């Protein structure tokens, strides 16, 4: 694959740590022409004096000597990242890092680079890069286009192929494997509406899902409370995971509740009270919603400046409190337990419980629209299929895209007819 996957604008510099076989001189040349300053480190390549870079000298502004790849420790990665910024004389926030070694990604993430991009060649795993904080993982350098001009702050546009592009029969997407479906709820099975209590499922979808569930395992994974999302979907034969997977239940006695999260509920009660007294009263249109394991602050109906003020107050509330963390989504700021548990872990747990983890005969397919769904896309980056609905403000690890909730319905309709009406 050589087409451009991501275009990043308003970038000034790049730190590139890659093995020589992953270097693409024409790409470096292209970036240079776009005004990007580059610092290059190639594992095992000691330049004679850091100013000389041999054959790459004319393509990069700074050449950094680097030891062997297997010797790249956290400390060494951090030193290289610092050296790159220093020699480029650029702020981290205007610099992108691209690397085929996860340690470099981790080091850059700590320095708050504009973006960290992992380079996992064909056959290499993507997940180790995502686990270290990569915003995106690509296969070749040619998939990345960098531009100095464009915006006031670094921004991007990403090309994710549509589900309906390239498959005459959708079943081909799964190869010989049987799909296990995971759907997010809001913005995926139901259009986003101003009042979360009125987010009813897209018309006709209930029957389609019911039909599809006759042949496949289907789970709905939501940030909503489990019972809440189950009520909206209204089907008994599906698995439901609420609170981003903190509580899961399904047919045949399937059940799980995150014990640590349970213990933190009384503290959430206190915070809820505080947030209602402050944010809800101070900013018109802000709505505090208490969930079982989280507090959601909705600002969809509030003035433009609300988000900044909400984030500031929530950050103050959570300062020095390591048990909770702040999450963000579409028009929502959330207080949630800072546990290493998310939608991706919930997918893994469900696959495990169904006896399908690592199965060569089954493939997990996750469809979602929001930033919290990225945890699931990243989890499935090497073995599974992530499908993003619409877009959000971060790069996505999804493999395919559906335009909107109507296309989600179309997708489910095609799946259903591919298996039931034509065979
Ligand atoms: Mg959603």
Residue 190 Cα to ligand 1 midpoint, Å, equals: 9
Give pLDDT, residue 1. Answer: 47
Query: Are 243 and 221 in contact, with CB atoms under 8 Å apart?
Result: no
pLDDT for 422 equals: 59
In tens, the pLDDT along 293-304 reads 999 999 989 998
Tell me how far the alpha carbon of residue 372 lies from the centroid of ligand 1, in angstroms.
Answer: 8
Contact between 104 and 79 under an 8 Å Cβ cutoff? The reply is no
Task: Report phi then psi at 67, rounded to 5.
Answer: -75, -170
Question: How many Å lie between the centroid of ligand 1 and the Cα of residue 186?
Answer: 4
Residue with structure tokens 């959601």? Answer: 296
pLDDT of residue 2: 54
Look at residue 4 in the predicted model and tell me its pLDDT: 84
Alpha-carbon span 137 to 207, nearest angstrom: 37
Q: If residue 389 lies in a helix (H) or strand (E), which one and from where to where?
A: strand 385-389
Interval between CA 368 and ligand 1 midpoint (Å):
6
pLDDT score, position 54: 66
User: H helices within 140-264, ranges in order?
Assistant: 205-212, 226-233, 259-263
**CB-count burial class (<10 Å; 0-12, 13-18, 19+) for 107:** buried
**Catalytic pick from 100, 184, 369, 375?**
184
Concatenated DSSP letters for 150-190? S-SS-EEEE---BTTSS-SSGGGGGTTSEEEEEE-SBTTTB
Question: Is 383 noted as a catalytic residue in this protein?
Answer: no
Handedness of CA 267, 273, 278, 284 (dihedral sign): positive
pLDDT digits (tens, 9 = 90+) for 107-141: 999 999 999 999 998 889 999 999 999 999 999 99
- Return the H-helix or E-strand segment holding 352: helix 343-353
Name the burial class of residue 263, with classes exposed (0-12), middle (13-18) and buried (19+) by CB atoms within 10 angstroms of its CB.
Answer: exposed
pLDDT mean for each 10 residues of the chain (423 residues)? 83 95 90 93 74 71 89 93 96 96 96 96 93 96 90 90 86 92 97 88 95 96 95 97 96 94 93 94 92 92 90 92 89 91 96 95 97 96 96 94 97 90 60
pLDDT at 320: 85
For residue 107, give both structure tokens: 């080091």
Q: How far is the CA of 215 from the centre of ligand 1 (A)?
A: 25
Domains of the chain: 6-158 (3.40.50.1000), 170-258+341-421 (3.40.50.1000), 261-337 (3.30.70.1020)
**Cα-based distances in Å from 98 to 34, 117, 317:** 17, 5, 35
Pair 244, 372: CB distance under 8 Å: yes
**Cα–Cα distance for residue pair 16/328, rounded to 1 Å:** 30
Q: What are the residues whose beta carbons fall under 8 Å from the beta carbon of 277, sequence distance 6 or more?
A: none
**Is residue 96 helix, strand or coil?**
strand
Residues paired with residue 186 on neighbouring β-strands, in sequence order: 190
CA angle 96, 101, 104 (to 5 degrees): 50
Task: Report yes or no: 16 and 43 within 8 Å, Cβ to Cβ.
Answer: no
How far does the centroid of ligand 1 lie from the alpha carbon of residue 134, in Å? 22
- From ligand 1's centre to the CA of 305, what distance in Å? 23
Nearest to 364 by CA among 373, 231, 169: 373
End-to-end alpha carbon distance in the chain: 33
């Amino acid at each position: 694959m050589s087409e451009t996957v991501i275009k990043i604008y308003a970038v000034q510099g790049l730190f590139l740590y890659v093995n020589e076989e992953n270097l693409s001189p024409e790409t470096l040349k292209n970036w240079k022409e776009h005004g990007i300053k580059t610092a290059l480190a190639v594992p095992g390549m000691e330049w004679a004096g850091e100013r000389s870079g041999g054959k790459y000298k004319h393509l990069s502004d700074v050449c950094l000597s680097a030891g062997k790849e297997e010797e790249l420790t956290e400390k060494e990665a951090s030193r290289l990242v610092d050296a790159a910024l220093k020699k480029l004389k650029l702020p981290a926030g205007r610099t992108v890092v691209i690397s085929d070694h996860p340690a470099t990604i981790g080091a850059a993430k700590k320095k708050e680079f504009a973006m960290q991009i992992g380079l996992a060649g064909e056959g290499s795993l993507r997940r180790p890069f995502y686990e270290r904080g990569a915003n995106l993982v690509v296969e070749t350098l040619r998939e990345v286009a960098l531009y100095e001009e464009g915006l006031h702050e670094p921004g991007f546009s990403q090309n994710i192929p549509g589900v309906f592009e390239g498959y005459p029969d959708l079943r081909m997407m799964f190869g010989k494997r049987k799909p296990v479906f995971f759907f997010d709820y809001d913005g995926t099975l139901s259009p986003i509406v101003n009042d979360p209590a009125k987010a009813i499922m897209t018309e006709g979808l209930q029957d389609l899902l019911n039909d599809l569930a006759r042949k496949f395992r289907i789970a709905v994974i939501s940030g909503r409370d489990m019972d809440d999302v189950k009520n909206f979907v209204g089907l008994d034969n599906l698995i439901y995971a609420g609170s981003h997977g903190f509580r899961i239940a399904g047919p045949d006695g399937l059940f799980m509740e995150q014990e640590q999260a349970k213990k933190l509920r009384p503290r959430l009660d206190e915070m809820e009270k505080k947030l209602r007294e402050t944010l809800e009263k101070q900013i018109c249109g802000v709505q505090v919603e208490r969930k079982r394991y989280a507090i959601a602050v909705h600002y969809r109906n509030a003035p433009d400046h609300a988000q900044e003020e909400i984030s500031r107050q929530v950050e103050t509330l959570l300062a020095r409190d390591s048990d909770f963390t702040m999450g963000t989504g579409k028009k929502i700021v959330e207080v949630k337990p800072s546990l290493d548990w998310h939608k991706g872990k919930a997918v893994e747990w469900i696959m495990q419980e169904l006896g399908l983890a690592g199965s060569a005969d089954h493939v997990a397919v996750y469809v979602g629209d929001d930033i919290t769904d990225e945890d699931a896309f990243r989890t499935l980056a090497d073995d599974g299929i992530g499908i993003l609905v619409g877009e959000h403000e971060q790069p996505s690890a999804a493999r395919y895209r559906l335009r909107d909730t109507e296309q989600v319905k179309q997708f489910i309709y095609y799946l259903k007819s591919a298996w039931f009406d034509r065979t």
